[in-house]
Structure 1
């Protein structure tokens, strides 16, 4: 009896003995193991093929989010005179550009998101920056105005003054800074309001409201060691519980970009969150074992599919979009009928992809 035959006989005998002493379940496992062992010392590696599966991938990955908080923004009064007759806001309200804040001597004062606070009447004699701020504010509120001072700008100011209840609005020639309250952000949720009907109008620089504490930055790190995605290549979102934001990179510091996180976690102000980063729109891709990918000497990535005959695998250049542990995702280059070579490194040698 030859060496190989003797070895095969020994393995078979070992399995039979194992079945007697180990029992049916353990014996089955040993039998499967014995069948997977080579029965010849010089057996060649066989080509292994499999059908790829078309799946939908959101490429969701777990992340840890370090949260940096800033104190709430103080809302300050411009130069006012008179008596507060009505208050339009209370704690918990969110104010935006154009929101009514307070009525003083019958004139409504609104929130205005301008590059900086207006500090004097803006007219045809004002600086170009001041005029640009007022004309942009008028347009944002739906009033007609050109980008430079013009009769149209004056008409827009008069329409604005009329809607606020300004006496003599039909003859005004300038935009008064007392008509607005400077809003330093696109939106602001209030935690405190220091206004009440009947009180004297707050003086210049006096705090009239306080914004809730808000997130100044989110620092995102992967918890599973997988590199974070590049937001330039697709649209991604960051989620933690019910809070969500467009994922813009490992550090997100725009107040408006993280506004939903600020609003949802304002009460507890956590310093760290867990969450996920995932695609907004899932992609469809063919899933194949990572071992099926082959990179040739020119750096081209391909897979090999079953050719006309069993021993003739054919290269197919593919587009790879991400991967998971042990799996690669191919978005172009494969067809449903393809059978992919799982072990090209053992079969094709130094082949080229094209």
Structure 2
């Protein structure tokens, strides 16, 4: 069994040390920092303890099996127990290896979700709306909240673009695999001849950025206010509540107009700007590690076609892992999307384990 037991023992000892510190007076920021470290280590420590218990039980069963003075029935039971424990230990050791994998520091965060219509005109906007609703339902399944930051509706419905904050622990860990081009094949409602059309929408998933991630200098921002664009006669059109922020060093522009309050729109625009700048920073770092990432599930590149939704056949295909499910309705309802994400996560972990073994 190729496991770094000395390192595992150190991590278990560190977990116990943090537990003692939390119980005896850590306060304020130190308490928060230690609590986060304790929470991160706990799943690994539980797996290590389960593995060590199984190893002790295996040693006892083997001793009983090797004891020539034991009666045949006891030795037969010990033999069966040895076989069971050897299989269990294989699973426990794999779980420990997974728990040792480097964790993306952003995994526990919420996300900024951006869905945009791609090629296909009105049908692409309708599909973008379908995708957005799929993610809203998926968020509800996981107990996450969704708040729209910005939206631009299509002429026939759906969205040319919609940007929302999905808030909930672990949202980024699961939704990060959704970045890329999503393609749909179906007969549009506007198509009288019954011909199947292909259109697309682009999804971007950015980890929610915190003010402590990096400092934004107010002097490097240009902030414009304007009247929100909406249906005639709406209150939002009568006041300059919409906010556009330009980050001058990078040229990054964000605009939020969905709230009647200029103050709230500005706060949301700053959240969106932070997420975009953090994403750009992470993308540069990822580009520098491109060779290291070779073979992992997708690149997160938004120009990469990742999935096809075929409505006539009721089929969803993820092209990164050659997975096809005939559960299109359940996927669009958000209830079966986890089957795809779990498979992507498993493949991602396998790639990380392979890279670790080859490293």
Task: Give the TM-score normalised by structure 1.
Answer: 0.20
Q: Which has the higher helix share?
A: 2
- Structure with the bigger RCO (C-alpha within 8 Å, sep 6+) is 1
Q: Which has the larger radius of gyration?
A: 1
